[in-house]
C-alpha cells in the first residue's frame, strides 16, 4: 500500500548569494528556519552518500541528495545541495556574482528553495510519525521571496522568476534512503510574492516576525539609537545600505513607505563577494602556484588568525573593500541630494557589514557628516553581525504573518 501524505505549507525564502535562508510553517503552526549554503554539486558516483541506517534523521538537512524534475529546469540530474555539496569535494555551482547575472533567471534560485521545501516536508512527517512516506504532496499556501532592488525594479525579471515558480508541478526525489521519497510541490500564482531586498530588511527591523503586528523589541535594539521598532518607525527618513555578497542596495524610506517621487532606489552590482573574487584573482596572478580560490574559500582563508590570513586581508581584500566603499559613497551622495539631505538615520546592514574595518566605518561617518553639515553628527546604525543574515527573511516573515492573519 502506498504511503502518501498531503501537506499545506507557507514559505518565506531569502535566496542570498552566500546562504539561502528559509522559513517554513505548517497548518498545525509548527515552523522552522534553516540557513543553507547557496550551492549544489552534481553527483559523480564516487561519493559516499549516507543512506537509511547510516544517517541520523536529524542530520538530513546536512545531507541533501536529490533529483529534481521541474518544468522550470532544462535538465534533471542527481544533485548534492548545501553542506552535502561542500563536503563532497565535487565542483560546486553557486551564484556567479562576478558575472552580474543576478538571481531572477538562474537555476540556483529555483533549485535551492525547492530542495529545502522538500526536506522541510519530509522532516515534518518524520517528526509526527517516525515513518518514511513514499510520496508527499505539498501545496504552498504562500511563497514569498525577494530580489535585489535592480532586479525587483525590472518587471521582466520579476515576471520571469514568478513564471518559473508557478510553472506546473515541481518534483523532488529525495535519494537518502534505499528507495526514493517523492515530493511534489505546487505553487499558486495568486499567492506567490516577490519583494525588494533591503526594504524587506527595513520591515524586519520595525515589526516582530514572531509576534506580528507588534513592533520588534528584542536584542537587535541593544546597541541601536532607538528603543524598539515603534521608536524606529517614528524616526523619519532612513537611508538603508544593504551590503550583500553580489550586490549592495541603497534606498530611502520613511518607516515602511518609500519617499514620494523617489521610490525603491538602486542596486550596485558590487558586494563583499565581488570584492573577494577580485582579491582572489589578484592573488592568483601573484602566486599562480596556489591555484584559484573561490570567493568563499578566499574569505575562509582571509579569516584565519595567522600570517596567511593577515596577508590576504591587508594586501588583497582590504583594497577591494575600499573600492566597494567608495562606490557606495558615490551612490549615497546621490541619494542624499534626492532627499534634500533630509535623512534622520543611515542604517547599514547585510552580511557584508561584517567584513568592514573600523577605518571603513570612519570613512563612511566622515562622508555622511560632510553631507549633513548643519547637524553635529549624522546618525548611523550599524546592525550587529548576528542579526544581519536574517533581516530580509525577518521582513518576509512579517509580510507572511500579515497575509496569514487576513485569512
Q: Which CATH number do you get for residue 342? A: 3.30.420.40
**What element of type H or E holds 268?**
strand 266-268
Span 36-49, average pLDDT:
79
Instruction: Assess whether 99 and 189 both reside in one domain.
Output: yes
pLDDT of 307 > 90? The answer is yes
How many domains, in total, are found in the chain?
2
- Give domain status of residue 100, yes or no: yes
pLDDT of 195 > 50? The answer is yes
The pLDDT score that the predictor gives to residue 407 is 61
The pLDDT score that the predictor gives to residue 54 is 43
The pLDDT score that the predictor gives to residue 263 is 53
The pLDDT score that the predictor gives to residue 262 is 54
- H helical segments located in 257-379: 272-286, 295-302, 307-311, 318-338, 358-371
Phi, then psi, of 266 in degrees rounded to 5? -130, 160
- Give domain status of residue 219, yes or no: no
Distance CA 208, CA 228 (A): 10
- Give domain status of residue 225, yes or no: no
Task: Single out the residue in 196, 220, 247 at which a domain terminates.
Answer: 196
How many residues are given for the chain? 407
Instruction: Assess whether 181 and 274 both reside in one domain.
Output: no
The pLDDT score that the predictor gives to residue 150 is 84
In which domain, by residue range, is 248 found? 236-386
The pLDDT score that the predictor gives to residue 139 is 97
**Beta-bridge partners for 143:** 11, 192
Span 320-335, average pLDDT:
92
Instruction: Assess whether 72 and 123 both reside in one domain.
Output: yes
Phi, then psi, of 333 in degrees rounded to 5? -60, -45
Span 126-143, average pLDDT:
92
Instruction: Assess whether 17 and 152 both reside in one domain.
Output: yes
Whether residue 399 contacts residue 212, with contact meaning beta carbons closer than 8 Å, is answered with no
- This prediction's pTM: 0.90
Instruction: Assess whether 248 and 379 both reside in one domain.
Output: yes
Mean pLDDT value across the chain: 89
Instruction: Assess whether 144 and 251 both reside in one domain.
Output: no
pLDDT of 215 > 60? The answer is yes
Q: How would residue 290 be classed by pLDDT, with cut points 50, 70 and 90?
A: confident
**Beta-bridge partners for 238:** 253, 345
**Beta-bridge partners for 215:** 207
Percent of the chain with pLDDT over 70: 93
Q: How would residue 352 be classed by pLDDT, with cut points 50, 70 and 90?
A: confident
Pairing of strands 237-243, 345-349: parallel
Name the residue among 21, 54, 52 with its Cα closest to residue 37. Answer: 21
The pLDDT score that the predictor gives to residue 403 is 95
- Give domain status of residue 403, yes or no: no
- Give domain status of residue 398, yes or no: no
Name the residue among 138, 141, 134, 126 with its Cα closest to residue 173. Answer: 134
Q: How would residue 149 be classed by pLDDT, with cut points 50, 70 and 90?
A: confident
Span 146-162, average pLDDT:
91
- Give domain status of residue 204, yes or no: no
Instruction: Assess whether 179 and 75 both reside in one domain.
Output: yes
The CATH number given to whatever domain includes residue 138 is 3.30.420
Name the residue among 226, 147, 209, 238 with its Cα closest to residue 395. Answer: 209
Instruction: Assess whether 106 and 154 both reside in one domain.
Output: yes
pLDDT of 375 > 80? The answer is no
- Give domain status of residue 214, yes or no: no
Give the DSSP letter string of 7-74.
EEEEEEEEE-SSEEEEEEEETTS-EEEEEEESEEEE--S-S----TTSS-GGGGGGSEEEEEE-TTSS
Instruction: Assess whether 191 and 78 both reside in one domain.
Output: yes
Instruction: Assess whether 34 and 154 both reside in one domain.
Output: yes
The pLDDT score that the predictor gives to residue 55 is 47
pLDDT of 214 > 70? The answer is yes
The pLDDT score that the predictor gives to residue 100 is 66
- Give domain status of residue 217, yes or no: no
Amino acid at each position: 500500500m502506498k504511503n502518501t501524505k498531503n501537506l499545506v505549507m507557507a514559505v518565506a525564502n531569502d535566496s542570498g548569494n552566500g546562504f539561502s535562508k528559509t522559513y517554513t510553517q505548517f497548518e498545525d503552526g509548527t515552523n522552522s528556519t534553516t540557513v543553507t549554503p547557496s550551492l549544489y554539486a552534481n553527483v559523480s558516483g564516487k561519493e559516499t552518500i549516507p543512506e537509511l541506517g547510516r544517517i541520523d534523521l536529524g542530520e538530513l538537512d546536512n545531507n541533501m541528495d536529490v533529483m529534481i524534475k521541474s518544468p522550470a529546469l532544462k535538465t534533471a540530474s542527481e544533485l548534492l545541495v548545501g553542506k552535502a555539496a561542500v563536503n563532497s569535494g565535487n565542483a560546486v555551482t553557486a551564484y556567479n556574482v562576478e558575472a552580474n547575472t543576478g538571481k531572477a533567471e538562474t537555476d540556483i534560485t529555483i533549485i535551492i528553495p525547492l530542495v529545502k521545501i522538500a526536506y522541510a516536508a519530509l522532516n515534518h512527517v518524520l517528526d509526527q510519525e517516525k515513518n518514511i512516506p513514499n510520496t508527499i504532496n505539498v501545496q504552498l499556501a504562500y511563497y514569498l521571496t525577494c530580489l535585489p532592488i535592480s532586479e525587483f525594479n525590472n518587471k521582466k525579471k520579476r515576471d520571469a522568476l514568478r513564471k518559473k515558480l508557478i510553472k506546473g508541478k515541481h518534483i523532488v526525489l529525495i535519494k537518502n534512503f534505499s528507495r526514493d521519497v517523492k515530493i511534489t510541490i505546487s505553487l499558486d500564482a495568486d499567492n506567490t510574492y516577490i519583494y525588494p531586498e533591503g526594504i524587506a530588511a527595513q520591515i524586519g527591523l520595525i515589526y516582530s516576525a514572531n509576534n506580528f503586528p507588534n513592533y520588534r523589541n528584542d536584542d537587535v535594539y541593544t546597541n541601536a539609537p532607538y528603543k524598539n521598532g515603534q521608536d524606529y518607525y517614528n524616526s523619519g527618513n532612513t537611508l538603508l545600505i544593504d551590503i550583500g555578497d553580489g550586490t549592495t542596495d541603497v534606498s530611502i524610506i520613511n518607516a515602511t513607505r518609500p519617499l514620494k517621487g523617489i521610490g525603491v532606489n538602486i542596486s550596485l552590482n558590487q558586494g563583499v563577494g565581488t570584492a573577494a573574487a577580485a582579491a582572489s584573482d589578484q592573488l592568483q596572478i601573484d602566486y599562480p602556484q596556489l591555484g584559484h580560490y573561490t570567493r568563499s574559500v578566499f574569505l575562509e582563508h582571509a579569516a584565519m588568525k595567522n600570517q596567511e590570513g593577515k596577508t590576504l586581508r591587508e594586501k588583497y581584500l582590504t583594497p577591494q573593500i575600499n573600492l566597494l566603499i567608495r562606490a557606495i559613497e558615490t551612490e549615497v551622495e546621490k541619494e542624499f541630494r534626492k532627499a534634500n539631505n533630509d535623512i534622520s538615520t543611515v542604517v547599514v546592514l547585510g552580511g557584508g557589514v561584517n567584513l568592514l574595518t573600523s577605518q571603513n566605518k570612519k570613512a563612511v561617518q566622515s562622508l555622511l557628516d560632510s553631507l549633513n553639515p548643519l547637524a553635529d553628527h549624522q546618525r548611523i546604525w550599524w546592525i550587529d553581525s548576528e542579526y544581519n543574515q536574517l533581516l530580509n527573511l525577518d521582513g518576509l516573515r512579517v509580510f507572511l504573518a500579515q497575509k496569514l492573519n487576513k485569512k
